[in-house]
Structure 1
Amino acid sequence: MSVTLGPATEPVGRERESAALRERLLSPGVRLVTLTGRAGVGKTRLAREAVRDLGEAFARVESVDAAVPGALSAAVTARREGAADGRPTGGHERVLLLLDGCDHEAREPAAEAAVALAADPGVVVLATAVEPLGVYGEQLLPLGPLPVPGEGDGEDPHAVASVALFVRRARDADPSFALTLENGAAVAEICTLLGGLPLALELAALRLRLLPPHLLAARLRGRTTVLAGGPVNAPARHRSLTALAEWSCHGLDPAARALLGRLAVYEPGFGLAAAGLAEEEGLEPLMDRGLLTVLGEERGELRFAVPEPVRSHARAQAAETAADAHAERYRRLVAAALPGLAGTGQDRLLREAAAEGANVLAALRHLHERGDGEAAAAMVLGCHLPWLAQGRLREGLEWCDAVADAGPLPEAPRARLADLSGVFALALGDPQEAVRRHRRALALGKSVGDRRQNALASLRLGAALLRAGDAAAAHSVLVTAHSALSTMGVTGGTAEAAVALAAALHAEGDRRKARDMLVRAEETFRRSRDGRGLAGALRALAALDLEGDEPEPAETALREALRLYEAIDERTELPGLLEEFALLLLRSQPAQRPRAVRLLAAADVLRQRTGAEVPQEWRSQAERARTELGARLDWPDFATAWAEGVRMSAPTAVAEALSSPVPSRRPVAGAAAEAQSLTPRQAQVALLVAEGLTNRHIAARLDISEWTVVNHVRQVMRRLGCTSRVQVAGAVGRWG
């Protein structure tokens, strides 16, 4: 039987799989190897190249197209009769037989043929199939799509297998094509949209004759099945992605096809709980055929995707009710998560929101396009904290405006959207625009009469005024907002207002009142377990500690803030915190200069991804730190550390900061040294704590506020290394 392998083509990005396949086929004990993977992944090409390369290791190589009627039975008959070109079977002769395309109707006869053929000790069978043949002794070698570029991983795009294949095929179509800084992002997006599927990448590369990469990427965003134009001598399923998707779904039973249509409306990376499914609900048949793939795991839950082009094909055929059901499910998920976002479940809910972010946006787009303004507004408002934590600032601002301007909308949600848009504007570094938007929110809110919302809008207006440089106006607005929120019992809002008011007091030079406000806010955030709010209060306290030349408590506070941001996967505020921590390292631990460089570089890149601008005074401070580091470190050391920081992801940057050594406390020779580490007022407070007095009694005894006592006790514990009032009493007892 003759072998028709076609022209030789170098498999791009398949070096590891090719080596593994060669090793198995040459192993003396192997009789059947099945190369599995979904349609278009390149099974046939890899198998044929392996057969071509191993021709000298076998007396004969033969190829059978399993889809051709009668080809399998003819191959079995030929081996049984020893009629393969007149040569005897068995003995010392080794034959490599490729059974290509053992799919759908051909799967069962291919399994029977493989068993019959592999029974001959001189025959090694290599099969290609979408799913395993399911016979005894079968060795599987799964073949997946090529890796795609990862966001912010710092990897050379030429080294990413999907990009390398796309570029090579693009040059085959247009020898002048080159991967450049200008088209690199579009090429990376194309590879990601196509999921690294080799056939899809090759079809896309052919389109570069007509479209530049950025226009091709825009066309593929809506539907990848527009790609066609495969070789005329290729199987029909390889000439277009529509044909490939139809062939992939061939033979599915009605229940599996219905489930596939239901899941196709979900963006890649959905969880079963979010999709309202249990693991046993008919997923196995789809997974066996590569129609449903596992992308990874998030906090113990698997994340799934319907891969392209099957997803585009199935979604186009799905009824409009599937998209409606998807949008309704995520609308309910966002609404259900809202009450817990500022409390105990904040870290879990924010991570779940980040994992389902693409589906939340898809649901929002559907509601918006459907004209359901109130539902879309409710979703945008529910995404307030998740989008801030994820650094999706520009996107959040645009959605606030799009939903507010789309059509008739009641004044209440319109006012809240204006207020939220101001929050995003401030986070993006435009305080003047934030002031304008918050004032509009207050103007709209007056007609609604929602006192709580108006107080929150006033709070945010005050924060924006402070960032805009008008500390006096900010103080006045914040005092009113704080009082109103406190009167209404809005605990979280009161604490948020206290942090903002403390910043205004600090700007006016009243550090004592500022600290009192921050300590009060810290206690509130701890009670409510609002990690993001607590981190903000700790950062403000650290700034006051540093002004008072107390780096140790400042570092303790910043380390706790880093851990809190890590728990919620914070992106918007993290760059600023990393810079603050780097500057503290420079001040307290000069030996940590290379680490400080890495943190400053990581912060710079992370902030660029959010699109946020920083105040000029803070930018100048960071620039001075970089200049100082560049002068104190040798240039190669500085450049190396900076490059390492640029490549850091957010979790890696946090781990880098927290892995810095904790400076040891000053050695204490005895009880007298302990006492001398306290200020006179702190020593007074410590003595009264040792007497067993409560904070209220100490405040009355010393004629100071109770919150000032709380702050003094806190400082006493830090300086003495104590974690409780009992330990403070023990330390005082040693003073004699």
Structure 2
Amino acid sequence: MSVSLGPVTELVGRELEGAALCERLRDPAVRLVTLTGRAGVGKSVLAAEAVRETGAEFAAVSLVDALNAADAADAADAADAADAVNVAGDGDAAALLEAAGPLPDGTGRVLVVLDGCDHAARPAAAGAATALLADPRVVVLATALEPLGVYGEQLLPLAPLPVPAPGPRAAADPEELQEVPGVALFVRRARDADPSFALTLENAGAVVELCTLLGGLPLAVELAARRLRLFPPHLLLSRLRGRTTALGGGPERAPERHRSLAALAEWSCRGLDPAATGVLRQLSVYEPGFCMPAAGVAAEDAVEALLERGVLSVVGVERGELRLAVPEPVRSYCRDGLVESGGEAAALDAHAEHYRLLVGSAQPALAGTEQSSRLRELAAEADNVSAALRRLRERGDGEAVAAVVLGCRLPWLAQGRLREGLEWCDAAAEPGGPALTDALRARLADMSGVFALALGDPQEAVRRHRRALSLGKGVGDRRQNALVSAHLGAALLRAGDVPGARAVLVTSLSALESMGVTRGAAAAAASLAAVTRADGDRRQALELLERAEEAFRRIRDGRGLAGALRISAALALEGEEPERADRALRESLRLYGEIGELSELPGLLEEFALLLLRTSPAQRPRCVRLLASADALRGRTGAQVPDEWRSEAERARTELSARLDWTDFAVAWAEGVRMSAPTAVAEALSAPGPSRRPVVSAAAEAQSLTPRQVQVALLVAEGLTNRHIAARLDISEWTVVNHVRQVMRRLGCTSRVQVAGAVGRWA
């Protein structure tokens, strides 16, 4: 029974796979090629295209629908299907051979296509392929969910089409999005259904989320695009989110499994043994990106079988462990099965318990040598941790919710999940919620203050930290109260209350050091260094920073060390030491890159860009990219920046736009907006360091300065500070800073000491 593999369909995103398949079919050494992949991935379409491309090169081509020819309905019994592997006298394999037709006489290669070698038809297809390959002229092309297991078989796995990666590109302009195969297929099929459809800035976000939800599975994307006749993208997305099996409406003449995602999912899972089905249902409650231990060691065989079938997919690797996902629509189908069997509650509870233990066990490592790897692991599991929190809250387990929320302080800060962290702190401690001890409420209030400060609201942070201190007084936990005081001091400094910040931080630092709380003391010392810097006491600030950096290095706290290095860089710049500032900022960038930091990274990128603009003017396009990346990354966290810092960044942008050609500026800005956090870090670290200018004569040095700059240089050589120079010349300190920078630039100096040396040569 020869059949057509369907109408001509434009292939989207399959150019490489199509070329590879045609090349194998043309290769005389290749006898059997099996296209494998999930149901709905487009195996039959690609096979049909390959036949159209290479069919004229064969003496004969036979197209066989293996499902119908083998009469799969009569071969559903597992024992009968196993017996069908023996071709001799087997009716099902014989039916396939009969459908393929008699081989032509003479020479020339013959192509036999066995389409749909799945489930009960698979053993028969394997037997028929073995029999056909006995003739050296025959080449067999099969499509199947799993390999046929025939000797000499070559596999060509098909994956779903790529979809936009999360992050900046997801918000790219429509023209760029249509270059992503998953989106391109959606748009083309949407126009088939509605010729007026166009991808626009307004609907691009919903379309991207739809394609991502459906995992780029071609059949699912096409079915979704067909529904645009009834629903706009955002309404369709809301209907499908959480239950993609509701999507149907496939062509009436298509096979049943291609008419709806529920039928497709049922077909994908058909024939799985009970153990594998049970594991798959348990895993369906996990958000995409869970690790192998979630399935349990005893389930490894089942996981392997699920991976082979394609109902479980690998989405990455973290700490040497595969990260897995149950793709849609199989996930929705299995969740429905859990509900019907009454096992959903137990599965959700097991999931919540797994992630409660995971967060709890990660706490010691977050403060030590494994900080980087654990932060990356928890970032990969962020969606599952959030789902576990929702389940714990549904159960009314307030203490468990509080414990997980408190354990997520550092991971959420690093991931930039600031608003989410603040909301969970409030939800866990809300007055109408489960009863919690004052100690837990105090810690939650303190943590909420940390998130409020990271979001750019120091006044709110101060209020929350003071509430934490109020709750903590009755508890009598000196260590916790000292930590809260350190956080309060940092918030007071950001709020502009320098004296208040100093008073609180001096007390908390003394208490933390006396109790041996190394990490807390180091953080308090770094904050106090920032306070003393604001007071103009450079020497004490340097001493405090040296203590903080040494402690952070000793306990391997990369995030804390990076923050202290940023303060060191600011001090170095005030001391006209750009090389030292450059070294500090580069190390801070490397540390943030290692832990996947997002909350503090935008500010650091801006600081580095401003230093680069000052020391390497030729790097202006790179500065634009870094400033744009910082702006885009900050938008993802929802954080605000102080007005004075925003003004400095805006001045830099204005200067760059004035000095660069407008087109060059716009291109560099667009490139920066699309950068991911790791790319932005790499972009910054690849910049050249500060370079010194060639030595010129003393007379030329003096003549290169204006009279006012000569005055400033002479006073710098006397050892006066910027403040003293301003008072001596009756000008503002900011004007002195600008003059000193110009003097150093024109003299090719990198420090005030070098300026003094240059002045000495004039004499």
- TM-score for both structures, normalised by structure 1: 0.86
Distance 1:489 1:620, change over 3 A: same
Aligned-partner SS, 1:360: helix
Contact 2:93–2:127 (8 Å) recurs in 1? no
Contact 1:147–1:196 (8 Å) recurs in 2? yes
Contact 2:168–2:632 (8 Å) recurs in 1? no
1:303 aligns with 2:323: yes
CA distance in 2, matches of 1:442, 1:212: 51
Aligned residue number for residue 585 of structure 1? 612
Contact 2:22–2:54 (8 Å) recurs in 1? yes
Aligned-partner SS, 2:322: strand
CA distance in 1, matches of 2:99, 2:382: 57
Aligned-partner SS, 1:67: helix
1:58-73 paired onto structure 2 within 5 Å: 58-68=58-68, 69=71, 72-73=93-94
- CA drift of 1:632 comes to 2.3
1:232-311 paired onto structure 2 within 5 Å: 232-273=252-293, 275-277=295-297, 280-311=300-331
What stretches of structure 2 of length at least 5 have no aligned partner?
A: 72-90, 696-716, 720-749, 752-763
Distance 1:469 1:459, change over 3 A: same
CA distance in 2, matches of 1:335, 1:276: 19
Distance 1:387 1:15, change over 3 A: same
Aligned residue number for residue 501 of structure 2? 474
Distance 1:494 1:96, change over 3 A: same
CA distance in 1, matches of 2:718, 2:522: 30
Q: Which moved more, 1:315-324 or 1:381-390?
A: 315-324
* Residues 319-360 of structure 1: per-residue CA shift (max 9 Å, x gap): 222221111111111111112212222112111111222221
- CA drift of 1:75 comes to 4.2
1:669-684 paired onto structure 2 within 5 Å: none
- CA drift of 1:275 comes to 4.7
Contact 2:33–2:141 (8 Å) recurs in 1? yes
1:408 aligns with 2:434: yes
1:265-414 paired onto structure 2 within 5 Å: 265-273=285-293, 275-277=295-297, 280-318=300-338, 319=343, 320-405=345-430, 407-410=433-436, 411-414=438-441
Aligned-partner SS, 1:126: strand
CA distance in 2, matches of 1:374, 1:667: 66
- CA drift of 1:421 comes to 1.4
Aligned residue number for residue 127 of structure 2? 112
CA distance in 2, matches of 1:628, 1:170: 45
Q: Which moved more, 1:556-565 or 1:295-304?
A: 295-304
Question: 1:73 is matched by which residue type in structure 2?
Answer: A
CA distance in 2, matches of 1:511, 1:390: 33
CA distance in 1, matches of 2:187, 2:242: 23
Question: 2:189 is matched by which residue type in structure 1?
Answer: R
- CA drift of 1:636 comes to 3.1
Distance 1:90 1:116, change over 3 A: farther
Aligned residue number for residue 649 of structure 2? 622
- CA drift of 1:93 comes to 4.8
CA distance in 2, matches of 1:191, 1:493: 45
CA distance in 2, matches of 1:600, 1:518: 27
Distance 1:299 1:664, change over 3 A: farther
Distance 1:218 1:400, change over 3 A: farther
Aligned residue number for residue 100 of structure 1? 115
What stretches of structure 1 of length at least 5 have no aligned partner?
A: 669-678, 682-717, 720-736
CA distance in 2, matches of 1:323, 1:513: 54
* Residues 442-469 of structure 1: per-residue CA shift (max 9 Å, x gap): 2333333333222222222222222122
CA distance in 1, matches of 2:531, 2:298: 52
CA distance in 2, matches of 1:545, 1:78: 81
1:571 aligns with 2:609: no
CA distance in 2, matches of 1:340, 1:206: 50
Aligned residue number for residue 3 of structure 2? 3
- CA drift of 1:622 comes to 0.9
- CA drift of 1:628 comes to 1.5
- CA drift of 1:38 comes to 1.0
Contact 1:364–1:379 (8 Å) recurs in 2? yes
* Residues 562-588 of structure 1: per-residue CA shift (max 9 Å, x gap): 111111111111111111111111222
Distance 1:552 1:314, change over 3 A: same
- CA drift of 1:656 comes to 1.8
1:195-206 paired onto structure 2 within 5 Å: 195-206=215-226
1:523-542 paired onto structure 2 within 5 Å: 523-542=550-569
1:641 to 668, 681, 693: 668
Aligned-partner SS, 2:254: coil
Contact 1:66–1:72 (8 Å) recurs in 2? no
Aligned residue number for residue 544 of structure 2? 517
Distance 1:274 1:666, change over 3 A: farther
2:182 to 162, 175, 187: 162
1:594-613 paired onto structure 2 within 5 Å: 594-613=621-640
Q: Which moved more, 1:22-31 or 1:374-383?
A: 22-31
Contact 2:2–2:99 (8 Å) recurs in 1? no
Identity score, percent:
71
CA distance in 2, matches of 1:35, 1:24: 12
Aligned residue number for residue 146 of structure 1? 161
Question: 2:248 is matched by which residue type in structure 1?
Answer: A
Aligned residue number for residue 709 of structure 2? none
Distance 1:525 1:275, change over 3 A: farther
- CA drift of 1:494 comes to 1.5
How many residue pairs get aligned? The number is: 669
Distance 1:212 1:342, change over 3 A: same
1:420-499 paired onto structure 2 within 5 Å: 420-499=447-526
CA distance in 2, matches of 1:214, 1:461: 43
Aligned residue number for residue 28 of structure 2? 28
Q: Which moved more, 1:237-246 or 1:90-99?
A: 90-99
CA distance in 1, matches of 2:687, 2:208: 35
* Residues 60-113 of structure 1: per-residue CA shift (max 9 Å, x gap): 43322211216752342466xxx65xxx62413544322111011111110111
Aligned-partner SS, 1:448: coil
Question: 1:321 is matched by which residue type in structure 2?
Answer: A
Contact 2:163–2:183 (8 Å) recurs in 1? yes
Question: 2:37 is matched by which residue type in structure 1?
Answer: G
Contact 1:90–1:122 (8 Å) recurs in 2? no
CA distance in 1, matches of 2:351, 2:40: 29
Contact 1:131–1:288 (8 Å) recurs in 2? yes
Contact 1:225–1:313 (8 Å) recurs in 2? yes
- CA drift of 1:135 comes to 0.7
Contact 1:546–1:554 (8 Å) recurs in 2? yes
